[in-house]
Each structure stands twice: as structure tokens, then as C-alpha cells.
Chains A and B, each alone.
Chain A
Amino acid sequence: MSSDVRFTDFKSDKQPTWCPGCGDFGTMNGMMKALAETGNDPDNTFIVAGIGCSGKIGTYMHSYALHGVHGRALPVGIGVKMANPDLEVMVSGGDGDGYSIGAGHFIHAVRRNVDMSYVVMDNRIYGLTKGQASPTSREDFETSTSPDGPNQPPVNPKALALASGATFIAQSFSSNAQRHAEIVQKAVEHDGFGFVNVYSPCVTFNDVDTYDYFRDAIVDLDETDHDPSDRDQAKDKILESDKEYMGVLYQDEDSVPFEEREGVEGSMAEIPDGAPEGAMDLVREFY
């Protein structure tokens, strides 16, 4: 790992096909900065992405990466990290990918607390399939498949995470470059599952949750007296459904990652050339 890694080293030579102005540009830049700042380089980093506009991120970044199927990026990330804890693993996807089709995996990834980061680009819409309601869409948000609005309250992913035993919950806003990079960096540095919900506006299909909306609504937790180590404070903030916060909502400083608790010691890639030593004991057990 060289100290002279720059965040641009994490850029691939593929030009993003995101719409000009898409929030995902900022989100990705922050991810790259956070990785470089934490001393990683592309050869020790593994990015897993889901499906959606957001999921394309693995293509535009340069590292070891896997772009999987819709909603299943988290289990892939867990497998990578368990098999080689020396890798820096970052998983990314959209609100549809993570909280709809992948919701089951989300809560289990949270409670499993493997040491990796999960950055969700929350644009409150399905972008890639051209503008249908997502699980974070507002109740009255009109879309092609919900002309009168989804008519059901949005999920609160931070509350889901907290209820599932999260050890790190943060929220960020892609257009606030400096803060966003800082927040993702904290998630990367966290010993355990670092979850960041990023407001990452879709300029093409969402005319409600826009840059302007978020800019006005968002409150930076650093400018309040919020104490992220206090779970009750975090809970109160997370359940305030009319507020948009930016910063680390909750962090358990005593978090011990799953793989550490399970005693996974190093890479599982190295195996002997034949059956492992002592393998005949496996047979003798059956006497």
C-alpha cells in the first residue's frame, strides 16, 4: 500500500453514463476520496455494487470489483471480507436495490456487523428503470407506476438499521463534497458495518427530492450537540421523520466485527497443494 495513492487512482477510464448533474457523481467522488484518505489502494480494495444507476459505480471506479445481481451486493461483500479480512470492502447501491429487493439482506448484514462499508445512493426513486416509486419515495409522490403516489409510508432505513443492531449509522448529501467524503471515511474507518445513507438526487425523474430541497432541509449534526455514542439520542433523531440530518447519527465505539468475533484470521485463498495436514483424522472420526 503506497502512501502516495490519490483518489483519482480509484477512477476507471470508463466515462460515467449518468445524466449530467446526477447526485451519483458526487457520491462516487466521496467514496474514492474516503478510500484514498484511509490509505487504501485499488489493489487491496474490493467494491461490490448492486443494480441501478447507482450500481454502475463499480464500473467507473478502479479496484477489484464485482457488479452483481439486483439487491444481492451485501452478501457478496460479506463473502469477500470473510474470505479475506485484509481487503477493504465497500458495497454500494441504490435505495431500491438496498431497501426493496435487498431489504432482507440489509437487516442481516447490519446485524452481522462484518467490517465493511455500505454506501446507499438514496434518490427516492428508481432511476435506471425510468422513474417508478422506490421504498423511500414519499407517500404522495406520483410516478409512472403510482399515479396517485405509492400510498404507503416510506421505509426509514436508519431506523431499520438501528433496530437491527447497527454499530454505525450515518447520513450524507452528495453535493456537500467535503462533509460527504468525511462521513464515508468515518464509515470506512469504523470497526464493523459502516452504513451511510447518501442523499444523491436524481435530476431526471425526481422533481421533489431535489438538490434545493435537501440543501434547505438538511441539518448538519456537527452544528448541533448531537452525541453519536448515545443510542437514545440517535434513536430520537432517526425517528424524526420530518427532519433530514447529515453526519454520524450513531456509532458504537466498542463494536467488534463479526469476522473478528468468529476468529477468522487471514486470507482463505492460501490452501495446501493436496489435502491439508491431518486430513486423515477427518476419516478416522468415522471409526
Chain B
Amino acid sequence: MPEDLNWAIGGEAGDGIDSTGKIFAQALSRAGRHVFTSKDFASRIRGGYTAYKVRTSVDRVESVVDRLDILIALTERTIHENEDELHEDSVIIYDGERSTMQDVEVPGDATALEVPLKRLAEDAGGAIMLNVVALGAACEVTGFPIENLDESLEKRFGDKGEAIVENNKEAARKGQHYVQEEYGEFDYDMETTDEDYVLLNGDEAIGMGAIAAGCRFYAGYPITPATDVMEYMTGRVDQFGGKVVQAEDELSAINMALGAARAGARAMTATSGPGIDLMTETFGLVATSETPLVICDVMRSGPSTGMPTKQEQGDLNMTLYGGHGEIPRFVVAPTTVSECFWKTVEAFNLAEKYQTPVFLVSDLAMAVTEQTFSPETFDMDEVEIDRGKVVDENDIDAWLDEKGRFQAHFAAADGVSPRAFPGTTDGAHMTTGLEHDELGRRTEDTDVRIEQVDKRQRKVETAREQEDFDYREFGDPDADTLVISWGSNEGALRESLTLLEEDGYDVRFLSVPYIFPRPDLSAEIEAAEDVIVVECNATGQFADVIEHDVLERVQRINKYNGVRFKADELATDIKETLDAPAEATQ
């Protein structure tokens, strides 16, 4: 029997596939087994094919594999869709009494278990429980203690009353006994442990991180696969004095979040590609008004409406470069589900410390993947809050100009100005998307323009000095082959290292969660013979930026005071550039 077991339930959307899969995944996690789930789904509410897959082991599991050991097939199509992953020891459970399943052909040498799911469910109190009958059957096949399933059923149906819970337990037992009597012993034997794990997905981890970090206002507009963040926060953030508002569109969502942030709340919005497009208009306003805001993009396949239920990491350029003009911003991309939590906490701190937009980039694969963790992974005592340079009535005097006006955009040496929440005495000030002076008042003065652009840009340099924009390293540190990746690929890559090693390939793997500012990888790249960048997109957007980093830099002449180049000035600039050492002109 395999060390880890791959299990799936598949059928039509509307068949309760998700909740059934989740019940099983939770039962496993409560039995002290690690779980990694994935979903196949299409963009429809009823019909079509959908599946929930669970990989489980007593050791940590970090990715999906191409192998299915147990398949509960509610439709014939489920079998065909998964044919390639079945093997000679696979077990397929299906209801042979159903008219649509009578001529099912079981591929290869896989074992077919015909279990009258519907009939047994009816015996237990209702056909609706047929999925649970199948779970009971799966418990028997895998040797998984059914008591663990009971706990999970209690959790799932507890709200619906004792009777429903009991009926479901009964339904599971009917499935179990049927298999026991008709098919006898199986090779599987699922070990359990005393570990207590929690099971959650990337979106939930982001929502949880946000609340832990003190986010109190969330505005969003539903979109797959970001909606779960909003659904997670709804109801929960209220318990901590916060609110979720469903806006009329993404333009409104980001502007509401911006308003809340200016009022002093930690605020966030989350969306996916098409929503990010709409929000782009406001990126510059967030940056020039120096408002701390966390903007989360849970990527899916684009462009346009693309494939809304499929994975892609195609928005990197959008988050790095989206918006007209030039704006300082941070782009952080968690690489695992647990990192979704911690990077969200960090995103709020970065946003407030540097008063900038922070793009938190996740993706569909991470959003729908549930994974087990020991609860300490999310140790709330470790959460640190840094609100940056907030001033109150006691220290605001230091930031008033000679006329007593608050300098909300003071051109500080580190690029970060003081922040006064509305309501602070003497702090009243204006801020705007127009270029402005230190008081926030509109200006077209060429010198002030340069001063403010430089000031905002300096935040990036300050952050590079103060923060640890690092990567995570796996594999053989001395290997000639260097693999670099970002986002949710980390788990699969880590596992592939083991497989490669077995075949005699030594690989060094860097997983990079910071896109901008990002760690300098030049030394690592120089030291390697082959460098491979892995990402879930067609053009290699991250590869492009990394390649750019290791290029010999061109020298630059830049002008941004609002006036076009003049000939004499250019001649001087070019001469100076040629005479000066290259570095100085960058």
C-alpha cells in the first residue's frame, strides 16, 4: 500500500461533492493525518463534472500527484475523467443500481465496488445521504476508523439537530457494513496519530491573517476565486468591531477601502484579474495620497474572463506595473497556505509603515487547496503590529509648519511622512491624487514635483534597508542547477526535488515570496550553471524580472518634473553621465 493515499469523490456540480469531500478531509485531519486537497471544477452551478480530491499521509503532503487510490464516482464521467490516474490497486466505489451506472466499465485492473448508495441511504433515513454511505464504504476499504468520520459528521450537521447527525452516522455504517459483507478484506490500513491538525485553504488563511493583523474594514465584489476571503471575513470581522461591505463593483470596493484606511482603519480589498483591472484606476491615488492599503489579487486564468475556475499566475505584470504613471508599491506573493496567513499580516505592516499600496498576490490553486497544519503554525502570539508613524495630539506639534499646518506629505529623509487619523486635533489636512506639496495641496511646481516623486520613491529604498525581503531555500545548496519559483508552486517543487534526487539530479530550489522589492538573486544565478524559473503562465513574467535584475545595467537619464527634454540640458546630462562612474547615475 502507498504511504500516502489519494482519494476523490466526483460527480456533477450540485451533487454535494465539495461538502462530502470536506467531511472526509476533516475526518482525516482530526485523525491526525496530513491532508492536501484539490478541486476540479467548472464554471457552472449545476451539472458538468466536478471532483474533490484528497491526498493524505501521516507525513506532510505539499502537492497533488497523478495517482488515485480510491474513487467515489457518482457519475460515469467521473471514472473517465480520472482514468489516467487509476492503477491496478485502485478501488472505485459506485452505485451499480443507478440506471446511469449500470454498464460502467472499470478501466484496467482497478477493483470495482458496486454499493447501492441510494438504497442504503434511504434505509438510513433519506436518499440525500448517499454520499455519506459512500464515505462509510471508503472507511471500510481504507481501514479508517469510522469514529473519526462521526466527529466530522457532527461538525458538519450539528446545527441541523441530533436526528440528522444520527441518520448520517447510520448511513455511513450501512456503507461500511455493505462493503465488509460483500467484498471482505482490503489491503489498505490507514494509520492515525494523536496530532491535532487544522485544515484550511489559502483564502481562509488570508482572511484569518487580515483579522489577526487588525484589519477591520473589508470592501469587495464577489469573484472566483477571491470570494472566499470575503465570505470568511463576513461575520467574523464583526466580532472584532469591523465590517465587510459588498460594494457595487471593484472601483467602489477599492475606493471604500481607501476611505476606511484614511479614516485610520486597517483596510483591505480582494479580487481576481478582471477586478484588478477595474481597480487599476485607483492604484495611483492610493500611492500618491500615501494611503496604506492591502489589495489582494487571487489570480485565475486570464486574459479577460479567461477560465475563471482554472489556475494561472498571469497577473504578475499587472500588479507590478498596473496603473498609469509610476507608483511605489510592494508586491508580496505567499508561497504556501500558511504563508497566506503570515504574509497577509506582513502586508498590513508594510502598508502602514511605508504608507503605500501592498499587493498581496495569491492564486486559485492556493485559494481552493485545503491543507493541514498544526495550530501553532498560526500562533497568534507571534503576530506583530506596526502602524508606522502615526501621530496624535501629543506629538503632532513637531509636524506642523510655521503656520500651524500639518505636513501630511512631509518629505522625510526615509520617504515616510507622519500620519494623523481624522479626528486628531490640529491634524486637518488635504490629500489628493494630484501632485501636491508637503501640505497636500495641488502643485505643478517642477521642484516640488521632483521632491514628492523622490520622497515616495525613497520608501522603497528604506524598505530594502529595513526589511528582510528574503527567499526560502530547498534542495542541495551546492547544486549546479538552480530552480526559482514564486507563488503556490513551492509544494510541488519541493516534492519533485525528492523525485529528481532519486534519479541522480541535484537541484537547488529558491522559492521567492517577494516580487517587489525582491531579493537580489544575482549571486545565486551567477553561481549556477543552469537556471530554471518555474511559473504557471505562458510568458515567464517572473523570469523576465529576474533576467532583468542580472543584466548589466544601462545608464539612465530620467526627467519627471513635468517638462519635456531640452537640447542643451540633454547635452549636459549626457556628458555628465559619461564622465561619472556608472553606479552614480542609476
Contacts and interface: CB of A to CB of B under 8 A. Distances in A.
A105 B252 contact: yes
Nearest to B237: A268
A104 B253 CA distance: 13
A38 B340 CA distance: 46
A43 interface: yes
Contacts of A287: 29-30, 196-199, 375
Nearest to B216: A268
A63 B425 CA distance: 11
Given A79-B219, A272-B214, A42 B428 contact: yes
A268 B266 CA distance: 8
A72 B280 CA distance: 13
B416 interface: no
A268 B258 contact: no
Interface string A41-52: 011111010000
B398 interface: no
A68 B285 contact: yes
A14 to B, nearest CB: 6
Nearest to A101: B251
Given A273-B385, A284-B375, A76 B258 contact: yes
A262 B246 CA distance: 13
A80 interface: yes
B453 to A, nearest CB: 18
Interface stretch (B125-133, B156-164, B429-437, B514-522): B429-437
Interface in B237-257: 238, 240-243, 245, 247-249, 251-253, 255-257
A268 B248 contact: no
B426 interface: yes
Given A79-B219, A82-B256, A268-B242, A87 B263 contact: yes
Interface of A: 12-14, 42-46, 48, 56, 58-59, 62-69, 72, 74-84, 86-87, 104-105, 108, 259, 262-269, 271-276, 279-280, 282-284, 286-287
B260 A79 contact: yes
Nearest to A64: B422
A66 B259 CA distance: 8
B369 interface: no
A82 to B, nearest CB: 6
Contact of A65 (B29, B375, B385, B431): B431
Contacts, number: 217
A80 B422 contact: yes
B198 A43 contact: no
A84 B282 contact: no
A43 B257 CA distance: 21
B380 A280 contact: yes
B380 A69 contact: no
B248 A271 contact: no
A46 B423 CA distance: 9
Contacts of B442: 56, 59, 67
A80 B263 contact: yes
B248 A69 contact: no
Nearest to B211: A282
Interface in B28-42: 29-30
Contact of A79 (B197, B267, B427): B267
Nearest to B431: A66
B556 interface: no
Contacts of A86: 423
A15 to B, nearest CB: 11
B502 to A, nearest CB: 34
B260 A286 contact: no
A267 B423 contact: yes
B212 interface: yes
A244 to B, nearest CB: 30
A67 B423 contact: no
Given A43-B427, A83-B216, A283 B258 contact: no
B208 A67 contact: no
A75 B256 contact: yes
A31 to B, nearest CB: 15
A215 B440 CA distance: 37
Contact of A83 (B199, B211, B240, B265): B265
A104 B258 CA distance: 18
A77 to B, nearest CB: 6
Interface string B203-242: 0100010011110110100000000000000001010111
Contacts of A79: 217, 219, 255-263, 267
A262 B403 CA distance: 41
Given A43-B427, A67-B430, 12 more contacts: A43-B425, A65-B428, A68-B282, A72-B252, A75-B256, A76-B258, A77-B259, A80-B422, A81-B263, A104-B248, A265-B241, A276-B240
B282 A279 contact: no
Contacts of A280: 375, 380
A76 B256 contact: yes
Contact of B252 (A67, A75, A259, A286): A75
A269 B217 CA distance: 10
Interface residues of B, number: 71
B384 interface: yes
Given A108-B248, A283-B198, A83 B260 contact: yes
Nearest to A273: B385
B582 interface: no
A83 B252 contact: no
A84 B265 contact: yes
A249 to B, nearest CB: 24
13 contacts: A12-B430, A13-B403, A46-B262, A59-B432, A66-B431, A75-B247, A75-B256, A78-B245, A78-B259, A82-B256, A84-B421, A271-B385, A279-B212
A172 to B, nearest CB: 25
A24 to B, nearest CB: 16
A56 B433 CA distance: 12
B432 A67 contact: yes
Given A82-B260, A108-B252, A276 B212 contact: yes
Contacts of B30: 287
Nearest to B432: A67
A72 B433 CA distance: 12
B156 to A, nearest CB: 13
A56 B380 CA distance: 45
B414 interface: no
Contacts of B433: 67-69
A208 to B, nearest CB: 30
Contacts of B238: 263
In the A-B complex, the 3 residue pairs with the closest CB atoms:
A79-B259, A269-B264, A271-B214
A282 B236 CA distance: 9
B425 A83 contact: no
Nearest to B238: A263
Interface in B395-440: 403, 421-434, 440
B248 A105 contact: yes
B78 to A, nearest CB: 28
B281 interface: yes
Contact of A82 (B217, B282, B403, B430): B217
B241 A75 contact: no
Contact of B208 (A44, A77, A82, A282): A282
A270 to B, nearest CB: 8
A82 B245 contact: yes
A2 to B, nearest CB: 10
A84 B263 contact: yes
A264 to B, nearest CB: 6
Contacts of B198: 283-284, 286-287
Contacts of A56: 442
A59 B431 CA distance: 9
Given A14-B441, A75-B247, A268-B217, A279 B383 contact: yes
Contacts of B380: 274-275, 279-280, 282-283
